Amino acid sequence: MDVPEPLQRKLDLFKGSGRIYRGPHDLFTEDSWLQVMHGQGLTPQTWHPLADRLTRAELEEMLANIRQIVTTAAARLPAHGDFVSGCCAAPAAAE
């Protein structure tokens, strides 16, 4: 099947610069599009030029903030076994 033109534009933009945009009728969020792109093995050839405007200190601070957000969110998640037991456990067998 041919790739629809709007999707091809989105793929080309990501491959060229790592940029992702969400159209008004897109099902996926930007985070989900990133997962789709990486899941398809797409790697940007370069980064957005505005990234070069950050100083090293600004970049390190931004990455530290992202790391803290992810660490805090992950710490709040249940362990895998607890999640499965609480949300996906098989029904008890009838006696």
Model confidence over 5-24: pLDDT tens digits?
989 999 999 999 899 988 88
Mean pLDDT of 20-29: 88
Ordered by start, the domain boundaries in the chain are 1-52, 54-88
Give pLDDT tens digits for 71-94.
999 999 999 989 888 888 777 776
What distance in Å separates the CA atoms of residue 95 and residue 90, rounded to the nearest whole number? Answer: 15
Per-residue DSSP letters for 2-62? PPPHHHHHHHHHHHHH------TT-SS-HHHHHHHHHHTT---SS--GGGGGS-HHHHHHH
What distance in Å separates the CA atoms of residue 95 and residue 93, rounded to the nearest whole number? Answer: 6
Q: At what angle do helices 5-17 and 30-39 cross, to 10 degrees?
A: 80
